[in-house]
Amino acid sequence: MATRRTFRGGIHPDDHKDATCALPIQEMPPPARVVLPLRQHLGAPAKALVQVGERVAQGQVVGESGGFVSAPVHASIAGEVTAIAKYRHPGGFMAESVVIEARDAAPAPAEGQEPMPWPPHPFTLPGANPDYESMAPDLLRSLIRDAGVVGMGGAAFPTFVKLSPPRGKRVELLVINGAECEPFLTCDHRTMLEETDKVVHGVRILMRALDVARAIVGIEDNKPDAIDVMTRAFAQVPGVSVVACQVKYPQGGEKQLIKALTGREVPPPPGLPLDVGVVVQNVGTAARVADAVMSGLPFIERTITLSGPRMAQPANVRVRLGTMLGDVVAFCGGLTGDPERVIMGGPMMGVTLSDMEVPIVKGTSGFLFFDAQSAADLEAGPCLRCGRCVDICPLRLRPAEIARFVEAGDLDGAQALHVRECMECGSCSYVCPSNRWLVQLFRIAKAKLNERKA
Ligand code: SF4
Ligand code: SF4
């Protein structure tokens, strides 16, 4: 095993993982109600396939894929569809969603008809088989697509699409992302320890689907137990190596991980890992791929981390998709007081929520609850022109200058300084002594540039 690979730039925030890294994943029982947004992935939203009043089985498709870059959405509990309407999405927008409420009994049968068995048998995907080595790559890809598997590292890009490179693009290496570089989050760490076999099978399935002979699993070396478990688990798998990476943010960014593990530089946008012959998948995604192909399980639950100073009992917990955040928090022991700030994801790239009335979605890796003190530490001031943000940007951008253009409303100036290339890693905001909200400015600029293009 090689050790301590890394990339240029980056920062060293306190990882705050001690609160949850040793806590086994708890299993939350299915809730009485779920809200399933039809947009839980990058690409076209799914299209509702059910109607209000319809009874659905667990795992049944409730939203069909809306295009090539899209993913289906499945019922995460059995019950009755009670609404199809717009609900708040944790990404900060309103999204068409299917609401399912659990029911104790089947509806009364029509005269002369047999009563419906209740709850109905959970739906599984036809064609699934533990003997995936005998399955054609096309079948593997279609099972992964039909299970609605998307990247679980945050971006939620449909996995099937990444496994279907365009003509002329040759993939020769699979990189498995076990870096989990965002502070506080430990769900990937626990997945490597507790779903080890599924990760191994998932990696082998992904290699077969991509027709590649080599894979590298990259893990930050603040997880020595995961590195040890994964190294032993892959010891007998030809072509797979486990590599420890230096603890540095954003080590888990696709480009940074590829650079650290292979020395290859992914070209600036629209350049992709494919351009250097690589596909990157997250360790949690690999486990869900194994579920889909070997057991026919649709993607209806995931592990998330709940942490931060306001969380009474920080936890790693497996929850059904669509479970409301408030229900998960209550299951885990509640909060010690009103949070001053709630963030979905990590503190570096996460999204601040206005309230807890949001469901868990496929790309949710965790929620953080901050008290007034931690939130006050984040008050912003003017730029001091210290240049720290420039020194650490892993993409060699000039964040302070871009921010000045955005604040002045000069989108062309921001574009000329490559604001579109910003990966929103948050490193510049982190090192800024004035706590400037640089990433937020860059997100706004990118959204406005996209609007202008549309
Ligand atoms: S400018 Fe973008 S890519 Fe560079 S450090 Fe800031 S957020 Fe990260
Ligand atoms: S780190 Fe902050 S204060 Fe320093 S130059 Fe960048 S934006 Fe200005």
How confident is the model over 325-376, as pLDDT tens digits? 999 999 999 999 999 889 999 888 888 888 889 999 999 999 999 988 776 6
Band (pLDDT 50/70/90 cuts) for residue 264 is very high
The answer, yes or no, to whether residue 7 has pLDDT greater than 80, is no
Q: Which bound ligand lies closest to the C-alpha atom of 443?
A: 1
The answer, yes or no, to whether residue 150 has pLDDT greater than 90, is yes
Average pLDDT over residues 33-59: 96
pLDDT digits (tens, 9 = 90+) for 395-416: 999 999 999 999 999 999 999 9
Tell me the domain boundaries of the chain.
30-101, 132-295, 302-376, 388-453
Q: Which of 386, 393, 437 has most ligand 2 atoms within 8 Å of CB, for mutation?
A: 386
Output the pLDDT for position 382: 86
Average pLDDT over residues 96-103: 97
Band (pLDDT 50/70/90 cuts) for residue 5 is confident
The answer, yes or no, to whether residue 166 has pLDDT greater than 60, is yes
Average pLDDT over residues 209-238: 97
Q: Whose CA is nearest to atom 8 of ligand 1?
A: 425
Fold of 30-101: OB fold (Dihydrolipoamide Acetyltransferase, E2P) (2.40.50)
Fold of 132-295: Rossmann fold (3.40.50)
Output the pLDDT for position 450: 81
- Give the position, in ligand 1's atom list, of the atom nearest the Cα of 438: 6
Q: Percentage of residues in the chain with pLDDT exceeding 90?
A: 75
Output the pLDDT for position 451: 79
Q: How far is the CA of 393 from the centre of ligand 2 (A)?
A: 12
Q: How far is the CA of 100 from the centre of ligand 2 (A)?
A: 48
Output the pLDDT for position 108: 86
Q: Whose CA is nearest to atom 2 of ligand 1?
A: 422
Q: Which of 396, 422, 431, 440 has most ligand 1 atoms within 8 Å of CB, for mutation?
A: 422
Band (pLDDT 50/70/90 cuts) for residue 115 is confident
The answer, yes or no, to whether residue 1 has pLDDT greater than 60, is no
Fold of 302-376: Ubiquitin-like (UB roll) (3.10.20)
pLDDT digits (tens, 9 = 90+) for 430-453: 889 888 889 889 988 988 888 776
- List the single range of 43-47, 92-96, 142-146, 151-155 with lowest mean pLDDT: 151-155
Output the pLDDT for position 2: 46
3-class DSSP string for the chain:
CCCCECCCCCECCCCCCCCCCCCCCEECCCCCEEEEECCCCCCCCCEECCCCCCEECCCCEEEECCCCCCCCEECCCCEEEEEEEEEECCCCCEEEEEEEECCCCCCCCCCCCCCCCCCCCCCCCCCCCCCHHHCCHHHHHHHHHHCCCECCCCCCCEHHHHCCCCCCCCCCEEEEEECCCCCCCCHHHHHHHHCHHHHHHHHHHHHHHHCCCCEEEEEECCCHHHHHHHHHHCCCCCCEEEEEECCCECCCCHHHHHHHHHCCCCCCCCCCHHHHCEEEEEHHHHHHHHHHHHHCCCCCEEEEEEECCCECCCEEEEEECCCEHHHHHHHCCCECCCCCEEEECCCCCCEEECCCCCECCCCCCEEEEECHHHHHCCCCCCCCCCCHHHHHCCCCCCHHHHHHHHHCCCHHHHHHCCHHHCCCCCHHHHHCCCCCCHHHHHHHHHHHHHHHHC
Average pLDDT over residues 203-210: 98
Q: Which of 12, 349, 439, 440 has most ligand 1 atoms within 8 Å of CB, for mutation?
A: 439
Q: Is the CB of 387 under 6 A from ligand 2?
A: yes
